[in-house]
Structure 1
Amino acid sequence: MSNGKDTATLYKEYVQALQEVADIKYAVAVLQWDQETYMPAGGADKRGRQIATLSEIAHDRFTSPAIGDLLAELGRRHDLTGEQRKNIELSLYDYSQQTRLPSAFVRQMSETVSRSFHNWIEARKANDFHIFRDVLGELVELKKQEAELLGYTGHPYNALLNQYERGATTDLLDNIFGKLQPELKAILDQLGTASQVDDSLVKQHFPASEQWEFGMDLLGKMGYDFNHGRQDRAEHPFTINFCSKDVRITTRIDEHDLGNMTWSTIHELGHALYEQGLPDEQYGLPLGEYASLSIHESQSRLWENNVGRSIYWCRHFLPLLQRYFPAQLGNATPETLYRAINKVSPSLIRTEADELTYHFHVIIRYELEKALINSDISVKDIPAFWNEHYRLYLGIAVPDDRQGCLQDVHWSHGSFGYFPTYSLGSLYAAQFYAFAGKDIPNLDYQLEGGQFATLKDWLRKKIHTHGRMYTSEELCREICGEGLNIQYFMQYAYAKYRYIYSL
């Protein structure tokens, strides 16, 4: 097994093996990035084959008996450093998970996802869920198989949740959402008695070219490293990385809504700053990867909302906005902009939702996915389930599929179990931001002055540099001295929206 090799030699072999697997996976990621940005539609079939082949190769390499033997031997060694031991521990866990998935299954999933993405694009263009329905049905059946292959305790959805948020269960989420919903309803009821905020300021005509230029300017000023990243346009904004030195984001532009581009760009910036802050020396190893999806979302939501929707952000960026859009925003004040970008009102589109009603968008998707994976509903029932729950939870009628169940890219990627991390991320974000404010003197006024580097450095030190060293809750306890506590979010929300709505 070890052939008498010392630990240093074995660990070096481990690093080389995992980095070669990472090379293949990131080659797949480049193909996926191209697929969602520049690839001509006619290349879809062969691109799906290419991605599937490389995904299968990466899976076969990582789950090979040789890797298993190497990990087992290193797991028995007592002379590893703390970081080395954590890498081996996490790789053993990953190996135990991945060896449960046959190579043929991995290839089938990859091929189905590629077809699914292009069907989703066509369905959105045609505004017709039926175009997406059959391939989505195939994906759902594959995700059910995946849950059985991975194994679970309790609800089958737990197996899928665990891939994005290790240790997450439906019981845990039901408990969190059960506490969050009545608190949100209470504040929404209060806001409902106040005069509604006017958001017409950001709903004027903003030419796409000027929006794009402003977005690029915004990214640079808020700390995005263009030497190790770029931005492009896509149907649905996303962040993708090929290493910490090559992290790419996308955005989309609505000429009649400045907020669509601006805050989706800031959201993706938060993801990108996390990826750019991961330790490069751990490339391909667990400690070079993000902690969890909820921690990833905490970074995007912190920059998007706690920073990007603050009065301090408005004070700093309004002069820049007025240079790009003098006719539309020339008479605006930081206060009018602040109110406009924080209007609370039930809406159709999750990515454009305010901070409070946003969680209901997530809860609807969580309940729908949970029912699908448990076979309580079928894929053909999705539009009806969706529309009914938007009526029940948000009191709005869904006019069509594009603004309803076709709005998110996640299902076309096979990402079932992802959506709950958005709400968890918002809750972690508020908690982390509260503690950043305790550690950084005059944080709000630093942001007002455009000094974003201090907060970025704090996040690098507290979160980014650790990779997967800690679980979400462990990391939260390291930073805050306690686990996730929704009261940080509620206190932030009450203070902010009582002021905005003059309660």
Structure 2
Amino acid sequence: MPTSEQRYSAYREKMQRIADVRYASAVLQWDQETYLPPKSARFRGQQISTLAELSHQLFSEDSLGDLLRELSQDSELSPVQKRNVALTLEDYTKNKKYTPALVRALSDAVNKAFHSWIEARKQNSFAIYQDDLEALVKLKKEEAGVLGYLQHPYDALLNEYEKGTTVALLDKTFGGLLPQLKDLYEKILHRPQVDDSFLRQHFPASQQWDWGMELLKALHFNFETGRQDKSEHPFTTSFSAEDVRITTRIDENDFGNMTWSCIHELGHALYEQGLPAGEYGLPLGEACSFSIHESQSRLWENNVGRSKGFWQHWYPVVQRHFPQQFKDVSLDRFYKGINKVQPSLIRTEADEISYHFHVSIRYELEKRLLEGSLHTADIPHYWNEQYKQLLDVDVPDDKQGALQDVHWSHGSFGYFPTYSLGSLYAAQLFAHVRKSIKGLDEQISTGQTQELLAWLREKIHSKGRLFISEDLCKEVTGEPLNPDYFLAYATEKYMSIYS
């Protein structure tokens, strides 16, 4: 009879083999979005689909299920081991619901949708993307049925990104948050506008790249276990805590595009690099949730990276990189300019307040697609209509409209709400860390972020999936998610900027 230790070792070995296959597929997907030659898409899609199917098969083996059930009854396991086993059994049970045919169909559909999305953006035509997206949406509806739900089909997909999240819960969250943000937004728009024209000069790509790399190094991205490249849409991916990749994009006529995508993706990457490497392949070696992941990127991007203290240290560095562009721009003018609130077309470039209207539009759109009250052919019209209604902007073309995000081509239906939840968690966490670390604001203003990162590593990164989001928030801050922290942060910040 195997001992508890031997059974747990067998479990760990099986899970690490499955992780090896999944991360091999992730490497191919990373390459697909960075360096893949234009005519290589067909076989790359086949390779990724094969690995997805193989991973599913390995994680569906009856012998693994038997082992997990044995371990779940083993009283000799440590609390950490018990948590790993419980989470894996939950994941295994869910995975068993998928047939190999559905897994391969989803992978094939994602591959087709991604490449048609790239081509649609090149030609600025949603029609090129529409049929492949329609096929993917049909499969996501099938997936929702396989996973099961009580009230709304979208609940099944939301739960994949944020455990326990439902349409009812999000409707309540957005319903309480957006009216207050709209009120603040309207007040700001009636104040004299700040100037950000200096951000839209010519900033050579090579100089922007050098600036971004210097910033990443100083903010403790470990280039011994990671790298940065360029892609159509900035993203972070990880193949282990010791191999984390980030990407950015550069617009030579917009300083902010690369700068804040670098800081945003840095937040994701620091989280991945801070996960317990010893738990590779196991739940406690994975991130808590997508909203907590987003809380890390939004915390670094906004609570730190758009604060005045941060730029007290970094603005002279920027001026050295771009002496002509910023020679006549004061720190105060720069700080106000990078926090300008205005209606905009592009989510990733939106200010911290209107950002949530962008997310809400996508959330409502996905909800309607899954329930069948909206069809893919209707997306551009619905999109343009909502942007006019909520932000009073006219969408000039598909590329700046319904084609701007990569998420649907990845099959990531249910992801978008985590962006808003992440911002809310970020504000709450940052308010707490400021109380926990004496003189944090002064540290940030002198370029010192080591203690902040160490706090995040201890309180968030090292926990893996030990807690669900709400419980982790309670563990760290003493209370569940409370949007009042974000509203207080935004009100204080923007009332100061806009007098």
TM surpasses 0.5: yes
CA distance in 2, matches of 1:32, 1:492: 37
User: In the alignment, does 2:1 pair up with 1:11?
Assistant: no
Other-structure match for 2:373: 376
Say if 2:109 is the partner of 1:98.
no
Which digits, 9 at most, give the CA deviation of each residue in 1:345-393, with x for residues without a partner? 0100000000000000000000000000000111100001100000111
Give the corresponding residue for 1:413: 410
Report the equivalent of 1:496. Answer: 493
Instruction: Report how far residue 77 of structure 1 moved.
Output: 0.8
Q: Which runs of 5+ in 2 are unaligned?
A: none
Displacement, 1:499?
0.6
1:164 aligned residue: 161
Note if 1:438 corresponds to 2:435.
yes
1:259 counterpart = 2:251: no
What is the CA distance between 1:6 and its match in structure 2?
1.2
- Answer yes or no: is the 8 Å Cα contact 1:318–1:333 preserved in 2: no
1:244-272 deviation line (CA, Å, top 9, x unaligned): 00101000011111000000110000000
CA contact (8 A) 1:199 1:340 kept: yes
Q: How many angstroms does 1:333 deviate by?
A: 2.2
Letter of the 1:299 counterpart: Q
Structure 2 equivalent of residue 471 of structure 1: 468
- Give the C-alpha shift of residue 76 in structure 1: 1.0
Match of 2:116 in 1: 119
**How far apart, CA to CA, are the structure 2 residues paired with 1:305 and 1:91?**
34
The one of 275, 288, 294 equivalent to 1:278 is 275
- Asked if structure 2 preserves the Cα contact closer than 8 Å seen for 1:477 and 1:483, the reply is yes
CA shift, 1:159, in A, is 0.2
Query: What is the DSSP-based 3-state SS (H/G/I as helix, E as strand, rest coil) of the residue aligned with 1:247?
Result: strand
1:128 is aligned to 125
- 1:270-349 matches, within 5 Å, as 270-349=267-346
The secondary structure found in structure 1 opposite 2:396 is coil
Structure 1, 232-241 or 106-115: larger mean CA deviation: 106-115
Amino acid at match of 1:409: V
Q: Are the counterparts in 1 of residues 200 and 255 from structure 2 also a CA contact under 8 Å? A: yes
SS in 2 for 1:315: helix
Name the CA distance, whole Å, in 2 between partners of 1:453 and 1:59: 40
Post-superposition CA distance 1:142-174 (Å, at most 9, x none)? 000000000011000000000000000000000
Report how far residue 332 of structure 1 moved: 2.2
Aligned-partner Cα distance in 2 for 1:201–1:497 = 20
Give 1:15-54 correspondences, 5 Å limit. Answer: 15-54=12-51
TM-superposition CA deviations, 1:177-224 (whole Å, max 9, x none): 000011101111211221001001211111111001100001001111
How many pairs does the alignment contain?
Answer: 499
Q: Secondary structure of 1:427's match?
A: helix
**Structure 2 letter corresponding to 1:236:** H
Deviation at 1:488, TM superposition (A): 0.3
Aligned residue among 188, 197, 210 for 1:213: 210
Letter in 2 for 1:345: Q
Task: For 2:237 and 2:56, locate their aligned partners in 1 and report how far apart those are by CA, in whole Å.
Answer: 20
1:71 is matched with: 68
For 1:283, the aligned partner's letter is Y
Q: What secondary structure is seen at the aligned counterpart in 2 of 1:216?
A: helix
Residue 334 of structure 1: how far off its partner (Å): 1.8
Partner residue, 2:246: 249
CA distance in 2, matches of 1:96, 1:484: 29
Q: What is the CA-CA distance between 1:408 and the residue it aligns to?
A: 0.2
Runs of 4+ in 1 over 4 A off after TM superposition: none
Could you tell me which residue of structure 2 aligns to residue 62 of structure 1? 59
Deviation (angstroms), 1:399: 0.5
Specify the alignment match of 2:426 in structure 1.
429
Taking only the aligned residue pairs, the percentage that are identical comes to 57
Structure 1 spans left out of the alignment, 5+ residues: none
Distance across 2 between alignment mates of 1:166 and 1:93: 12
CA distance, structure 2, for counterparts of residue 317 and residue 390 of structure 1:
34
CA contact (8 A) 2:189 2:342 kept: no
Deviation at 1:231, TM superposition (A): 0.2
**Hey, what does 1:487 align to over in structure 2?**
484
- The superposition leaves residues 277-332 of structure 1 with CA deviations (integer Å, 9 ceiling, x where unpaired) of 00000000000000000000000000000000000111111111011100001222
Backbone CA RMSD of aligned residues: 0.6
Aligned to 1:395: 392
Contact 1:382 1:405 in 2 (8 A): yes
Q: Aligned residue for 1:110?
A: 107
Instruction: Report the more deviating stretch, 47-56 or 189-198.
Output: 189-198
The residue identity in structure 2 corresponding to 1:311 is K
Residue 35 of structure 1 deviates from its aligned partner by 0.2
Checking the alignment, whether the CA contact within 8 Å between 2:189 and 2:341 is kept in structure 1 is no
TM-score, structure 1 length as denominator?
Answer: 0.99
d(CA) in 2 for partners of 1:228 and 1:316? 26
Q: Distance in 2 between matches of 1:492 and 1:67?
A: 48
Matched-pair contact (CA < 8 Å) for 2:291–2:469:
yes
* TM-score, normalisation: structure 2: 1.00
* d(CA) in 1 for partners of 2:230, 2:252: 14
Aligned-partner Cα distance in 2 for 1:333–1:228: 37
Task: Give the aligned residue type for 2:436.
Answer: D
Partner secondary structure for residue 231 of structure 1: strand
